[in-house]
Chain A
Amino acid sequence: MISNPVANSSDRARESSKKKKKRRSQSARDQSENTTQSRTAIPWKSEAQQQAYSSKLLQAIRQARQGSSAPAAPRRGGGAVREAADRVLAAAAKGRTRWSRAILTNRLKIKFMKNRRQRVAVTASSRLKKPRVSILRLKCKNLSTVQRKARVLGRLVPGCRKQPLPVVLEEVTDYIPALEMQIRAMAALAELLSGSASGSSSIEERAWGVPTVKKSLKQVAGKCPAAEFFVRMHQKYLCATVGSHVVM
């Protein structure tokens, strides 16, 4: 292990240059695949992005629940979480894509409508098919199959109803990885919550309660790697609170 530092550094430099060459060729390959998007594309697949999203999501959900000040009816309960999840996802996109901007502006519009007209908003979900669209939708038979399907696709992605085909395709290419990340993060969060809920009721219990929580957390961590991050943080907290009782 302890070797000549000069030789070590030169070896490291050679290795790092080799790695850099490999990385550069790979990134060049990736760049040739995504021509225009690579400059502003967000790495939805990265672990860091997912963790950042998860923490903001939990914050937003907690805020939404505290704001309502009472457990909402089961039908709207999921809707509040959905809204928060979409909002945080759109915020994570940093305004570079149409769908993210559309989600955020839709929510603002409905908030303003609610305040001005003081009527209960139906729902803030932008996925409801509003009746206006049927008037504007041109059912032109001259449209090719590809065009027709692109119209359908444009309705599914928020903010892309009237956009031309290449715009819709670009938006979708960013929207799908974002949705996948959203699902991964929410699934990890749900697993963590359900795992720790079934394990023990509260963490302030005595030492006998802690091992069950640990066990359930370990089970959760084994299922998906994203939850390992949460588990590690949770374990750190357990060590801090319970002190000598916890033996990792």
Chain B
Amino acid sequence: MSSRRSRSSRQPGPSRITDDQINDLVSKLQQLLPEIQDRRSKKVSSARVLQETCNYIRNLHKEVDDLSERLSGLLETTDASQAAIIRNLLMQ
């Protein structure tokens, strides 16, 4: 714990935010990640959490891109009547 504290305490500037707050936020973020959830939170460093978060967000972006491609292709080939039906149903 002391090593983590010393690493982030070196930052200059108007840092009114305490290290504890940052660690708290990082641990909250860790709960969201699918990979590190099972492990105990003490053993994962903040840098590791941030790295995993970056990778995860990149993956999510890529999935959204793939899904949009797929959806645009599907909407072109689907019958216009079917798409209209689905839209009407969803708008109810």
Contacts and interface: CB of A to CB of B under 8 A. Distances in A.
Interface size for chain B: under 10, 10 to 19, 20 to 34, or 35 or more residues? 35 or more
Interface string B78-92: 110111011111111
A234 B92 CA distance: 12
B7 to A, nearest CB: 5
Contact of B28 (A34, A194, A202): A34
A61 to B, nearest CB: 7
Contacts, number: 166
Ordered nearest first, which 8 A-B pairs have the shortest CB separation?
A: A78-B69, A55-B90, A149-B50, A81-B68, A169-B25, A77-B72, A233-B89, A82-B68
B70 to A, nearest CB: 5
B35 interface: no
Interface string A126-170: 010000000000000011111101101100110000001110011
Contact of B81 (A77, A180, A187, A203): A203
Interface in A43-94: 54-55, 58-59, 61-62, 65, 71-72, 74, 77-82, 85
A126 B25 CA distance: 25
A230 B90 contact: yes
